[in-house]
Structure 1
């Protein structure tokens, strides 16, 4: 039997989820990672992507996050997202607006470092868009 642990997903607007779960798949900036009970203490940055949560009863929930960070301990995980929503509630217009804003940042970048960061974020957002929204 798989052990459960406490998981919290928090955005500036609200607490989206706080419950016992069996595992959480997080889109870390260094790659996707699966968190389970007893995980080594870790802090990681989060890139735009999908969080998959398997709750203690075996059900699955998915959330879209737009950056943030996760604090992982052996007995829990708290993910503080810059912005987050359930996949089922994703607003296509909002995602398209975010992509347009980042494209404008790329075009208006004054230096190489700013342009590189904006291009990386744009790539993450367009990958997310392709994964979530059918053509």
Structure 2
């Protein structure tokens, strides 16, 4: 069994998505970066872009955000966002 990290996508009102993942790729303001299990702690601002959630060697969910913050710990990756969110299945969430 491969290592996973817990991923959460959170708005001010609720938890939008919570799942385990082998890797999460987020749109940092200095460029995209990947988060793996046991990643060093980091807090970063996020630009508008895609979040890719990887499991079983492939992308299982793609989420477009309009910006936010990410907090990474060795066991968790938490994205905080207030803008619109679109999932790869064409469902969208308006957080305004």
Aligned mates of 2:59, 2:11 — CA distance in 1:
22
1:67 aligned residue? 67
TM-score, normalisation: structure 1: 0.60
Moved more, 78-87 or 63-72: 78-87
Q: Residues 63 and 87 of structure 2 are in contact (CA less than 8 Å); yes or no, is this contact kept in structure 1?
A: yes
The alignment of Structure 1 onto Structure 2 pairs a total of residues equal to 92
RMSD between aligned alpha carbons?
A: 2.3
2:15 aligned residue? 15
Q: Which runs of 4+ in 1 moved over 3 A?
A: 55-59
Question: Normalized per residue, which structure has more helix?
Answer: 1
Larger Rg: 1 or 2? 1
Unaligned runs of 5+ in 2: none
User: More relative contact order in 1 or in 2 (CA 8 Å, sep 6+)?
Assistant: 2
1:89 aligned residue? 91
Aligned mates of 1:90, 1:20 — CA distance in 2:
21
TM-score, normalisation: structure 2: 0.82
Unaligned runs of 5+ in 1: 95-135
Aligned mates of 1:85, 1:12 — CA distance in 2:
17
1:56 CA drift (Å)? 5.8
Q: Residues 48 and 66 of structure 1 are in contact (CA less than 8 Å); yes or no, is this contact kept in structure 2?
A: yes
Question: Normalized per residue, which structure has more strand?
Answer: 2
